[in-house]
């Protein structure tokens, strides 16, 4: 657990226990932030008593995999967002972050320690000029980090799509490997869209006057976050469509290769059929020219060879072989 106390935009105290929070939030000049990582129900109960949190919001924290959202209660806001990362296997690994926002307190509850809260704190410490805006400043730094992480990830996925295009049209890699990469990208993109698309509603809700979080001076900063959210969602939709087109192209290429193979097999079957027909005729129990004579054998061999070469020449010229 990490705690901080801000006063007049400056950090005046760190590492105090949660039991002291109620003493600080009574002072309108103080802003309190504390962070919990995978807390127990008992720890959440203590926070709920200190800040008067709604029981439904606390219940949502205990139930994982919430949709990104903003719930407005009488005394606070409850926000759910996701930090996004790729695991060692290349699969999308979103980390849930739940946020309680009161008039002068911000509580962050992380699903696990993969969410780099230290980077958020570093952003807060680097923006001392806007720290005087209290909770609105803290919430902006957190959302800005989340959205920037999503923007970085969509750039990474875009690079993977370009590599897949090069492999598809450059003939690099086997078909199964390309299919595996395509389905992994498609799966990641579907999960990523579920995380990023609701962020438009999350950020736009904070602009509403009844939330009383974003003042006039912090408005442009939240507008910048909202613009980044729109860019990410548009980019995700474009990549999803591009991946679908790549999958259709793969299927079309496979069909084309199959047609090429069938065309060549048919050509060779036609070439083989001619000598088979000629030797079949000579194998009948009826007299034919040259029967029982050496020249008859040589004549049939010349006819078989000549017909086969003629068919091969014609098929090759028509690019059937």
Residue pLDDT, tens place only, 48-85:
888 888 999 988 898 878 899 999 998 899 999 999 99
pLDDT at 291: 66
Quick one: pLDDT at residue 245?
78
Residue 105 CB partners (closer than 8 Å, separation 6+): 21, 25, 31, 32, 33, 51, 135
Q: Is the pLDDT confidence value at 119 over 90?
A: yes
> Which pLDDT value is given to residue 281?
63
Q: pTM for this structure?
A: 0.78
Task: Give Cα 218 to chain centroid, integer Å.
Answer: 30
Segment 282-293 shows an average pLDDT of 65
Check if the beta carbon of residue 227 is closer than 8 Å to that of residue 147.
no
Residue 273 pLDDT level (bands cut at 50, 70, 90): confident
Q: Which of 96-110, 120-134, 288-302 has the lowest mean pLDDT?
A: 288-302
Instruction: Write down the pLDDT at residue 117.
Output: 92
**Per-residue pLDDT at 226 exceeds 90:** yes
Instruction: Compute the average pLDDT of residues 218-225.
Output: 90
Secondary structure in 3-state letters for 185-244: HHHHHHHHHHHHCCHHHHHHHHCCHHHCCCCCCCHHHHHHHHHHHHHHHHHHHHHHHHHH
Tokens of 236: 């995700």
How sure is the predictor about 96, in pLDDT bands with cuts at 50, 70 and 90? Answer: very high
The pLDDT score that the predictor gives to residue 118 is: 92
37 pairs with which residues across the strands?
A: 110
Q: Is the distance from CB of 320 to CB of 270 less than 8 angstroms?
A: no
* Separation of alpha carbons 105 and 78, rounded Å: 12
């Amino acid at each position: 657990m990490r705690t901080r106390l801000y006063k007049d935009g400056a950090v005046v105290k760190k590492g105090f226990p949660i039991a002291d929070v109620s003493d600080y939030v009574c002072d309108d000049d103080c802003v309190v932030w504390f962070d919990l990582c995978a807390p127990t129900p008992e720890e959440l109960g203590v926070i709920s008593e200190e800040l008067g949190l709604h029981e439904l919001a606390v219940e949502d924290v205990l139930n994982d995999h919430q949709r990104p959202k903003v719930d407005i209660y009488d005394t606070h806001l409850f926000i759910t967002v996701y930090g996004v990362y790729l695991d060692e296997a290349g699969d999308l690994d979103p980390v849930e972050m739940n946020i309680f926002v009161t008039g002068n307190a911000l509580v962050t509850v992380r699903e696990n320690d993969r969410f780099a809260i230290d980077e958020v704190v570093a952003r807060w410490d680097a923006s001392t000029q806007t720290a005087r805006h209290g909770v609105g400043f803290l919430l902006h730094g957190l959302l800005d980090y989340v959205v920037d992480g999503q923007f970085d990830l969509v750039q990474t996925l875009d690079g993977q799509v370009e590599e897949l295009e090069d492999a598809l049209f450059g003939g690099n890699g086997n078909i199964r490997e390309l299919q595996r990469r395509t389905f992994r990208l498609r799966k990641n993109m579907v999960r990523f869209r579920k995380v990023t698309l609701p962020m438009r509603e999350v950020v736009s809700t904070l602009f509403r006057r009844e939330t009383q979080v974003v003042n006039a001076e912090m408005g442009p900063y939240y507008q910048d976050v909202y613009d980044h959210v729109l860019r990410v969602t548009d980019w995700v939709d474009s990549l999803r469509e591009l991946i679908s087109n790549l999958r259709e192209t793969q299927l079309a290429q496979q069909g084309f290769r199959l047609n090429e193979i069938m065309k060549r097999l048919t050509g060779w079957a036609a070439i083989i059929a001619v000598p088979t027909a000629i030797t079949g005729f000579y194998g009948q129990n009826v007299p034919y020219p040259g029967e029982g004579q050496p020249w008859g054998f040589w004549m049939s061999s010349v006819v078989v060879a000549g017909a086969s070469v003629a068919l091969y020449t014609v098929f090759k010229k028509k690019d059937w072989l």
